Structure formats: structure tokens, C-alpha cells
Amino acid sequence: MLKFVYAIDYRRSITHQGNPWTIKVDKVLAPIGVRIYREFPFKLGVVGEEAAAISVERHMAELTDDPGLLVPESLFKRQSLSPYGVRSPEGLWWTGGSEKLKGD
């Protein structure tokens, strides 16, 4: 369905670099993740068009620079890392965020 709205080349990985439309999509998906977290707290959330196909282990190693994660503050602390991005009132950080993250 995204192909009808955005120019997508499925032969390459879909990343923010070279695909600015992914940032717009993430801004829609991140608040949905916050709402889910309120009902069912998770260890790590991956935001993005192909997020379900990405291993959590890979992202655990990339907590310091991945822009598409929803990370509970406790996970940053367990990994001895400083949280970054935008924090929701529940203590969930969107690593790619630059504006208030509500989830309402």
C-alpha cells in the first residue's frame, strides 16, 4: 500500500537515508507504539515499515544510534546508556523523535 503513496525501491533496504517519507510514517507509528506500551509494556519496540522482519538482537547492539526504536528507560539503564530522542510520560523513548511524543 505504501507504494501507492511513496516511491519505494524494494530491491534496497528501506532506511531514513534517501527515503524521507519513512520519517513521516514513523511519526504515525511511534504514538501507536506508546499506546500499546501503556497496555502491554514491552522490552523494545521497532518502528518502521519492515520492523517485524528485523531481529531484536540486532537492535540491542544498535541502541546508541538507531532512529527507529521505542526503548523503555529501564533498558537504557540496564545497558548503561544515556537515553536519547523523545520521552513519553511513561518513560518510553522514541529514538528517532524530535517532537513531543504523546500516544493519545
Q: What does the pLDDT profile of the chain (104 residues) look like in tens digits?
A: 677 887 776 666 667 777 778 888 888 888 998 999 999 988 877 776 555 555 566 666 667 777 778 889 988 888 888 888 889 888 899 888 776 665 55
Residue 12 lies in a domain: no
CA-to-CA dists, residue 86 to 20, 23, 43, angstroms: 19, 14, 17
Residue 58 lies in a domain: yes
pLDDT computed for residue 97 by the predictor: 76
Residues 57, 40: Cα–Cα separation, whole Å: 20
pLDDT computed for residue 66 by the predictor: 75
Q: How many domains does the chain have?
A: 1
Residues 51, 20: Cα–Cα separation, whole Å: 17
CA end-to-end distance (rounded Å), the chain: 25
Residue 86 lies in a domain: yes
Residue 98 lies in a domain: yes
Residue 88 lies in a domain: yes
pLDDT computed for residue 8 by the predictor: 75
pLDDT computed for residue 102 by the predictor: 59
Q: Which residue is it, cell 532506511?
A: 15
In the DSSP assignment, the letter for residue 17 is T
Contact 46, 67 (CB under 8 A): no
Residues 65, 72: Cα–Cα separation, whole Å: 15
Task: Give me the domain span that covers residue 70.
Answer: 23-104
Residue 14 lies in a domain: no
Residue 100 lies in a domain: yes
pLDDT computed for residue 81 by the predictor: 87
